[in-house]
Structure 1
């Protein structure tokens, strides 16, 4: 994630800003240019000061304060590149459900920022009825007691609205023994399943992927039952990025994909702030890193890891000083780094095509 500048006054803008706090201009994100722009009214539309664009429209979900993106200039349906992938949304006349959906949209838009930066293939359900990417945001039914489960099914990603409740999400995190559980993490994990279909299965990379992650033809239902009955192997941290990743090669890929996006997006933000880690007691340089590079342009995944490890050592230590959990409570073993390298090669091949 980057920092942005208001083209009207030069003030620093953040990705979720709706207005410039210095000059008061309405601001919005232009996904095709990956920039934020100040806006000026132009009849029934907007002019973008960043590129002198005419006739731009805010996404229809701006009406609910759920989106700050602009639509494409030739768009006909009124939704931006992120929101055109929405299927079902919760009852927006319910203030609690509206608030929860807004939180989900913040995470979803950060996901799409990364997917667009990588130039990954993004087809809607209208463009590809069989396997287009679509998100359903669903609330539990209080009358029947039905609980929505977050998951992926052939391009359809269901996100449980209850995950936007901080208390409920923390309860589930503790119940499932997870060190980390966030809305953005859910989105990154579930879209990993989608891109396994698109880039691995349909991209002629299946044999290569199986050599790294294992045989995905193993029965998923049996693997799920075994995981929840027996848990992860005692030495799972030597081979997997999380305990859940040990359940099945599909979950291993999705978890690794999510962590790759965690690393790249966070390092980009660190680079925007010019962060440097140089502990006074680190005489051999193992905990030193100067994060001044664009992680989306790095060729070797090891360069990402070499910056990520010192950065997370430092941020974890700062969090502990505040009595908080580690920012990144995971171990990147050599086997996990190799899996991250496979994901790195997938996205780089697409970006270079």
Structure 2
């Protein structure tokens, strides 16, 4: 993600900021110009310093501090380009649900930032009632007898369900440990699940030639999915899984391999853009430091090929993992990218472009 600044005073801003702490201006994000911009009131609308000539209004979810995106003041839509994909939100009369939903929305908006920059097809349920992208944010239900109905996070023909408990840091860490996952975040969930949606749109619906390319790279998705998952949970990944897969879960089935690789491609593009915005250069002060040099001086969303991304990504991950270890924290990026995995990431690059 890029680095933003207040047009009024130059203060650095985060994507999620709603008020400039330096000059006090109200802030909002305008996706059409990719700016978190300072705002000034004009009647019942807002004038954006970073996008003059158009009056804006806030997404309706800004009323509950769950969104800071803007849309044209004369738009008939009450919700922004990200929030109009919501189908179900949790009961907001519950303060815990409200806090968790805000975290979910923060991660979801981060996802939409990247998807919009990559110009991916983003029909919602109004545009495509049968297969448009939509989100259900649900919580586990307990009946009168104390029986719990657990909500499973997953994807079904464009509908992505997220258990709001994933927004609880302690609960998510418990699940990460139970599932033996080195990495589990809200944003990671969104990137993974939306990968299933884009498999439908960019692979399945693109015809037999597209499916053939997919099967050559990831395997035959026609293998029984339920049985494949059961085998994975019973037996775990093969001993040599790191030679061909980015994660253990990717070994379960070709669909999961695609979704895991898709998520990692988005991780790479977004993080490299952040590194570029901060002008980061990697110049290790060791004898063979030249082998780990990197400088992200291009827009990762418009990279020519996967090699441009990986040549910068690997040195950056070595550096940030070393920084984390210096703070006594686990590796920020606890993954190994084998040649086979890099080839799969190259497939994702070609697919998104």
TM-score normalized by structure 1?
Answer: 0.96
State how 1:48-63 maps to structure 2 within 5 Å.
48-63=48-63
**Matched residue SS, 2:149:** coil
Aligned to 2:5: 5
State the 1:75 CA deviation.
2.6
Deviation per residue, 1:162-213 (Å, 9 max, x gap): 0001111000000010000000000000000000000111123211111111
Conserved in 2, the CA contact under 8 Å of 1:41 and 1:47? yes
State the 1:77 CA deviation.
2.6
- Match for residue 311 of structure 1 among 299, 316, 323: 316
**Matched residue SS, 1:285:** helix
Conserved in 2, the CA contact under 8 Å of 1:278 and 1:289? yes
State the 1:287 CA deviation.
1.6
Q: 2: distance between equivalents of 1:172 and 1:78?
A: 36
Q: 1: distance between equivalents of 2:341 and 2:213?
A: 15
- Does residue 20 (structure 1) correspond to residue 25 (structure 2)? The answer is no
**Matched residue SS, 2:27:** strand
**Matched residue SS, 1:130:** coil
Deviation per residue, 1:106-150 (Å, 9 max, x gap): 100000000000010100101100100000100111334111111
Aligned to 2:238: 233
- Does residue 218 (structure 1) correspond to residue 223 (structure 2)? The answer is yes
Deviation per residue, 1:10-46 (Å, 9 max, x gap): 2222101101111111010001111121111111111
Q: 2: distance between equivalents of 1:342 and 1:54?
A: 39
More displaced, 226-235 or 50-59? 50-59
Aligned to 2:328: 323
CA distance change for structure 1 residues 153 and 282 in 2, over 3 Å: closer, same or farther? farther
Conserved in 2, the CA contact under 8 Å of 1:275 and 1:292? no
Aligned to 1:93: 93
Conserved in 1, the CA contact under 8 Å of 2:55 and 2:72? no
Conserved in 2, the CA contact under 8 Å of 1:100 and 1:165? yes
Q: 1: distance between equivalents of 2:71 and 2:84?
A: 10
- Match for residue 339 of structure 1 among 335, 344, 353: 344
State the 1:73 CA deviation.
4.8
Q: 1: distance between equivalents of 2:82 and 2:64?
A: 15
**Matched residue SS, 1:28:** strand
State the 1:282 CA deviation.
4.2
**5+ residue gaps, structure 2:** none
Conserved in 1, the CA contact under 8 Å of 2:56 and 2:71? yes
Q: 2: distance between equivalents of 1:74 and 1:243?
A: 49
Q: 1: distance between equivalents of 2:183 and 2:189?
A: 10
Q: 2: distance between equivalents of 1:44 and 1:261?
A: 37
- Does residue 247 (structure 1) correspond to residue 264 (structure 2)? The answer is no
Aligned to 1:198: 201
More displaced, 71-80 or 118-127? 71-80
**5+ residue gaps, structure 1:** 349-353
CA distance change for structure 1 residues 282 and 216 in 2, over 3 Å: closer, same or farther? farther
CA distance change for structure 1 residues 72 and 81 in 2, over 3 Å: closer, same or farther? farther
Number of equivalent positions: 348
Aligned to 2:288: 283
State how 1:2-151 maps to structure 2 within 5 Å.
2-143=2-143, 144-151=147-154
Q: 1: distance between equivalents of 2:72 and 2:233?
A: 45
Aligned to 1:351: none
More displaced, 16-25 or 255-264? 16-25
